[in-house]
Structure 1
Amino acid sequence: MGYVIITSASLTWFLCSLVADMLFAVALVTPKWLVGPAQGFNSSHYRYSSVGIYTRCKLVNEGGFHCGRFDLDGLATDSSVYPGEWKAAMFFLSLGFSLLSVTVLLTLLTCCRQSACGKSIHNMIACAQVVAGICVMMALFLHPIGWRAARVQRLCGPDAEPFYLADCTIGVSVYCGIIGVLLAFCAAGISLKAEASNMRSRVRRCVETGRKFVCIP
């Protein structure tokens, strides 16, 4: 690893992967998957209870408002408290986030090395990013199946059921997950362009002349 190559395509790839990973993190930890109807403390102040895949915000005694993680005991929590579909969604979202986080770090490795064990590092990372996107897609699909749970019906009304929210609305966390999936797939496609840009004749000439740092648009 005696050289570093940075091109506009490789920089775009890294930034796209990083933004997608940050959006996955937002979707994972924020309580804005489902947002309940407005609840007023007084005539001019309204708050909204909400529930996420890991955290929730709710009204407590005397008009207080508290946000925090669920009182969970891991995936062994009873399904009446934490729906089984949400457990699966939590698993897939965490897996997708972890996998994409690793690829973000590995994109930096491609500045110094193009292959490993005879395989293109770009292609391996691209495959991992596609898998990460699919994992989060699974989480986004599984979450609405759990909307029949008592927790959701208390928030959204007794009419809530899979893919029907009654009085609730979709929160920003879901949209972050959707945009993150799209960016993860885009990043996988950009990786092919990044690999091609690193192999250009202009880059090879710079490396052959002994340059240790090559930065080309």
Structure 2
Amino acid sequence: MLAAQEVAQLYQTDFVRNARALGALWAVCTLCFAVLEVVVLIEPSWVRAAGQARPPAPAGGFGLFEVCLETDGPPECRGSLATLSPVPSFQTAAVFVCMALALVLASLGGLGLYRFFSPATVYKVCAWLQLSAASCQALGCLTFPAGWETAEVRRLCGPQAGSYALGACSIHWAFVLAILGAMDALVLCGLAFVLGNRQDTLLPEGFRPPQKAVSNVI
């Protein structure tokens, strides 16, 4: 039977190998989430109007800061990320999504702290950043429907449109991606916390490595 120290060393080697693989997967998924955040922020596809409102309304769609109307040629789009117009009621949702994007990018930048801090500290800092990003993303998704009572929205969705009521319009793919993004951030946050916590506590008491060895791994 192996001595406690030898078992602990074997466990550490296996854990470090698995932790590096999970860490690489976490970094790739975080990068994908950042790209997703950029897409949902700039795409005017949160809500889709099929042009079936009564009275007749043009077909098109809108996002957090841009409204697009379908024409015989290219779509006619109006709006600016700098001014968050022409739908001012979506400004709060846009700010929350921008904050979520900034926090996700900060968590990616936090990977550069490996040279100065232990991996456990870096993962936990990134986990808190991603938890904050998930909260901001969720708040953006929750506050976005509150602006559906504006004239710009009713022009596309009919007079029945109001806060949390879309009238003749329907939720489009960018809104669904934004909701999935909030869930993705929670999953990444949980994974970062798992990677940051000490896994040596899973070993029986007699097989745990010395404290010095643990600190070297973490």
Higher-helix-fraction structure:
2
| One of 112, 118, 121 as aligned partner of 1:115 | 118
Higher-strand-fraction structure:
1
Letter in 1 for 2:155: R
How far apart, in 2, do the equivalents of 1:102 and 1:48 lie?
38
Q: Deviations over 1:138-187 (max 9, x none)?
A: 11111100000011101111100111111111011111111111111111
**Is the 1:20–1:181 contact (alpha carbons within 8 Å) kept by the matching residues of 2?**
no
Give the greater-gyration-radius structure (CA).
2
How far apart, in 1, do the equivalents of 2:44 and 2:200 lie?
44
Structure-1 residue corresponding to 2:22: 9
1:16 Cα deviation after fit: 2.2
Letter in 1 for 2:97: L
**Is the 1:123–1:192 contact (alpha carbons within 8 Å) kept by the matching residues of 2?**
yes
**Identity fraction in percent:** 23
Task: Please say if 1:135 is aligned against 2:140.
Answer: no
| One of 57, 72, 75 as aligned partner of 1:66 | 75
Q: How many residues are paired up?
A: 186
How far apart, in 1, do the equivalents of 2:49 and 2:159 lie?
13
Q: TM-score when scaled to structure 2?
A: 0.72
The unaligned stretches of length 5 or more in structure 2 are 1-16, 53-57, 202-208
- Cα gap change, 1:67 to 1:187, in 2 (>3 Å): farther
The unaligned stretches of length 5 or more in structure 1 are 40-46, 209-217
1:48 Cα deviation after fit: 4.8
Q: Deviations over 1:85-123 (max 9, x none)?
A: x1111111111101111112323544x45439xx82211
Partner SS for 1:136: helix
Structure-2 residue corresponding to 1:26: 39
Greater relative contact order (CA < 8 Å, ≥ 6 in sequence) = 1
What RMSD over aligned residues (CA atoms) do the two structures have, in Å?
Answer: 3.3
Letter in 1 for 2:188: A
